[in-house]
Structures are given as structure tokens and as C-alpha cells.
Amino acid sequence: MYAQDLDVFFTGLDAASCTANGFGFRGLLDTPDESLNQFGVNVLSTMYVLTCKSSDVASAGIASGAAITVGAAAYVVRDVMLVDDGAITHLTLSK
């Protein structure tokens, strides 16, 4: 066994400062565009996903509908999804 040190993922330049419910933490924001097909017409959506530590999510009390700032931008949390062993969480966001 080895001790997990998740902080190494969130100390790089790519990591953004985040705040939710007054709790500060760091996360990695991805903003890929995705094409959806609806009634034969393509609709484009930016799928905002913030990767962060699940312990930070718990400390901040983040749930669906929570307001969150990433960098200087404001978002609303859509889904809170554990990844793999649950130590990391993906937050899908609306801008």
C-alpha cells in the first residue's frame, strides 16, 4: 500500500482557486464542447467539469444547485459524481 497524496494533482499551474459556501479549495476545470443531436439538429454545449478532492467537496458541503466560483467565474453545480475509488470528484457545472 502507499499513501495517497492527492494534493500533488491540485498544486500545479493548471489548478484554479475555487470557493463554495465560503470554503476555499483547488480544482482542475475542463471546458470541452460537446455536440448533442436533438430532433436531427446538432446543438453545441460546453460541458464544464471541475475535478477536485472529494474531501474538499464534503468540507464545502457542495450539492447539486450550489453556487461555486472557479477562478473569477461563477457557476452552479449540476451533478456531484465520484470518480474511481471516490477520492476524486467530478462536479459538472452550469455557467
Residue that is written with C-alpha cell 464545502 in the block: 60
Assess 38 for contact with other proteins (CB under 8 A): yes
The one among 48, 53, 57, 89 contacting other proteins by CB under 8 A? 48
> Are 17 and 60 spatial neighbours (Cβ–Cβ below 8 Å)?
no
- Specify the stretch interacting with other proteins by CB under 8 A; choose among 17-25, 36-44, 53-61, 81-89: 36-44
Cell of 77: 453545480
The one among 46, 55, 61, 81 contacting other proteins by CB under 8 A? 46
In three-state secondary structure terms, 42 is strand
Assess 42 for contact with other proteins (CB under 8 A): yes
Q: Look at residues 24, 17, 89, 95 and name the one whose alpha carbon lies nearest to residue 60.
A: 24
- Specify the stretch interacting with other proteins by CB under 8 A; choose among 1-9, 14-22, 45-53, 82-90: 45-53
CA distances from 37 to 21, 32, 41 (A): 36, 16, 6
How close are the terminal C-alpha atoms of the chain, in Å? 40
The one among 29, 60, 66, 93 contacting other proteins by CB under 8 A? 93
Assess 94 for contact with other proteins (CB under 8 A): yes
Binding site for other proteins (CB under 8 A): 34-36, 38-48, 78-79, 92-95
